[in-house]
Chains A and B, each alone.
Chain A
Amino acid sequence: MVGGPIAGVDPVAILAGRMGDTALVLGHRISEWCGLAPALEEDIALANTALDLIGQAKLWLDLAGAREGLGRDADGLAYLRDAWDFRNLLLVERPNGDFGDTILRQALFDGWHVQLLAGLRDSRDEQVAAIAAKASKEAAYHWQRSRETVIALGDGTEESHARMQAALVRAWPFVGEMFESDETDAALSSAGIAPAPATLSTSVMGAFEEMLAEATLRAPEVSRWQTGGRSGRMHTEHLGHMLSTMQWLQRAYPGCDW
């Protein structure tokens, strides 16, 4: 099973499932912006980011399916699991909100993603390393763009600053989940397949601090991080609604070739 660390399951299946679900859910969320962005350039950039992420999701989920050995491919995993079996970061399933919420969520994801992929490129698992190598080129560009946009809007007008600050207050409690580890993470890191999540914390948080300082934004104090998406312990109520849209055709007309 991709969902949940289970004894005897290849931990790469779980890693790939988590990577794939996170990329898929965020890619889907961004694709909801189609035709509605604040400027044509943003429409193009958002579609491009969504396209990259869904492409990555397909690679990760195909790998997850192959390693779990239950005969499911990326589409089977994306379209025929319910919310409780998804293992994405909670951050990415949050609704788009305004453009500030979207671009801030993107920057927080991208800043973490580039560092994680840098670690995964050196994975002892060749397939993990290959997907990470491909994805890192895309992620580097996403991070550059989302970071610059957060800085520009944080340090733009009074209104754009206020909106970005409010977006940061909403999104920040979800950052802690990026560095949380469980038994699967421990197994992956001791096997040299993936970096331990906690080891990314210094560099990722450092990158966030730099970005926020330039953007003149201040991260709120968080007494308790919102976590549980990667482990499958918890989701937001939003994920089920997203899946009911995304999976609708496959559910309404089962077994068809599209």
Chain B
Amino acid sequence: MYAQMVKSTGRGVKSPEEMTPEERAFQARIDADEKIEPRDWMPDGYRKNLIRQIGQHAHSEIVGQLPEGNWITRAPTLERKMILLAKVQDEAGHGLYLYAAAETLGVSRDAMTEDLLSGRMKYSSIFNYPTLTWADMGAVGWLVDGAAIMNQVPLQRTSYGPYARAMVRICKEESFHQRQGFDIMMKMAQGSPAQKRMAQDALNRFWYPSLMMFGPSDATSVHSAQSMAWRIKINSNDELRQKFVDQTVPQAEYLGLTVPDDGLAWNAEKGGYDFTEPDWEEFFAVLKGDGPCNAERLQARQKAWDDGAWVREGLLAHGRKRRAAGIAAQ
């Protein structure tokens, strides 16, 4: 999940009696599964909540290029290099669709970028973990993209039209990303002893950070309740995490790798695995900025933004000259 701890109105869900007539009509449309479009009336809280969520998702796609970019230059074969490049290019494209979806809510991409750089907007905690070996490219695809898909598939049915449509395109590409990640893991798990060790090490390091991607239990969160009422969020964090564990454990077994959780056990009664919760203190620390790579990730984005200023300004200036010349010629 690329959106974590997204704040809502903070006031909980209003009862129909507390709503204004406009709010009641709006909620009725959502409950009838209608899509909300940019020109439609919407509560201010809905708009702000969506901007935060879509923006966080977009930023995650952008920052998420960095841990993979770390390995594009060291990919072990030309084909792996091409696949990874194609994947990172997709991610930049996802960022673009998502920023465009957020822009329909009245916020510019530049403003969102500045909010990312100043720390006012977040990106997924997962991208603050380093990619240390080639097997990490497998683990990122298999686990991180796998976790993202868990959340994004239901978001294709989210209430805001532009967001739902962006998700349809994104989901198609994400499933390819997950498959290529699993394919890397497979090669490593069946490879030399060193490759197998690398694969197990990658799983060890990415398992809990992947579980954290869904966010802490939101059973009592007022933000989640409001987001779910507005169908900005479809499933609870715990539901999705359980689904992810249930899907991933057999895949790890198939690979001959061990999930790093002594408490992992099949629970026949619930029809799912019991598992150990990730260290939520670590999660909050990473979200606050104290993860292994937070500083580097933001520095890299800041440097790209600062170093690119003359390019953006140059392109704009040329565009203005062209338009002026076009007008003068008429």
Q: Which residues of A contact B (CB under 8 A)?
A: 24, 28, 31-32, 34-44, 47-48, 50-51, 54-55, 57-58, 61, 74-75, 78-79, 98-100, 149, 151-153, 155-157, 159-161, 163, 245-246, 248-250, 253, 255-258
- Residue pairs across A and B with Cβ atoms less than 8 A apart, 29 shown, are A31-B73, A31-B85, A34-B69, A35-B65, A35-B300, A35-B304, A36-B300, A37-B308, A38-B309, A39-B311, A42-B308, A44-B92, A47-B92, A51-B86, A51-B89, A58-B78, A99-B307, A152-B315, A153-B315, A156-B314, A156-B318, A157-B310, A157-B313, A245-B73, A246-B74, A249-B75, A253-B194, A256-B76, A256-B192
A151 pairs with B318, CB closer than 8 A: yes
B78 pairs with A156, CB closer than 8 A: no
Tell me, in angstroms, the Cα distance from A258 to B307 when the chains sit together: 36
Contact with A along B305-330 (1 / 0, CB 8 A): 00111111111111101000000000
Contact residue among B72, B313, B321 (Cβ-Cβ distance under 8 Å from A155):
B321
Tell me, in angstroms, the Cα distance from A5 to B112 when the chains sit together: 55
Contact with A along B272-288 (1 / 0, CB 8 A): 00000000000000000
Tell me, in angstroms, the Cα distance from A75 to B78 when the chains sit together: 6
Binding site secondary structure of chain B: helix
Contact residue among B75, B134, B317 (Cβ-Cβ distance under 8 Å from A157):
B317
CB-CB under 8 A from A149, the residues of chain B are 315
CB-CB under 8 A from A155, the residues of chain B are 318, 321
A34-B69, A78-B78 known, 5 other contacts, Cβ within 8 Å: A34-B65, A38-B308, A51-B86, A100-B311, A245-B74
A40 pairs with B74, CB closer than 8 A: no
Tell me, in angstroms, the Cα distance from A32 to B72 when the chains sit together: 8
B66 within 8 A of partner (CB): yes
Please report which residues of chain B, range 84-102, place their CB below 8 angstroms from some CB of chain A when the two chains form the complex.
85-86, 88-89, 92-93, 95-96, 99
B79 pairs with A58, CB closer than 8 A: yes
CB-CB under 8 A from A100, the residues of chain B are 311
B313 pairs with A160, CB closer than 8 A: yes
Give the size range of B's interface with the partner.
Answer: 35 or more
A160 pairs with B89, CB closer than 8 A: no
Tell me, in angstroms, the Cα distance from A258 to B309 when the chains sit together: 39
B66 pairs with A35, CB closer than 8 A: yes
Tell me, in angstroms, the Cα distance from A78 to B81 when the chains sit together: 12
CB-CB under 8 A from A41, the residues of chain B are 96
B85 pairs with A152, CB closer than 8 A: no
B62 within 8 A of partner (CB): yes
B73 pairs with A246, CB closer than 8 A: yes
A36 pairs with B304, CB closer than 8 A: yes
CB-CB under 8 A from A153, the residues of chain B are 311, 314-315, 318
CB-CB under 8 A from B62, the residues of chain A are 35, 40
CB-CB under 8 A from B80, the residues of chain A are 258
Contact of A38 with B72 at beta-carbon distance under 8 Å, contacts A155-B318, A156-B318 already known? no
CB-CB under 8 A from B65, the residues of chain A are 34-35, 43
CB-CB under 8 A from A246, the residues of chain B are 73-74
Contact of A258 with B187 at beta-carbon distance under 8 Å, contacts A31-B81, A156-B313 already known? yes
**8 A-B pairs with least C-beta separation:** A38-B308, A160-B314, A156-B314, A34-B69, A35-B65, A47-B89, A38-B311, A152-B318
CB-CB under 8 A from B187, the residues of chain A are 257-258
Who on chain B is nearest to A20 by CB? B78
Who on chain A is nearest to B75 by CB? A249
CB-CB under 8 A from B191, the residues of chain A are 256-258
Q: How far is the CB of A72 from chain B (nearest CB, A)?
A: 13
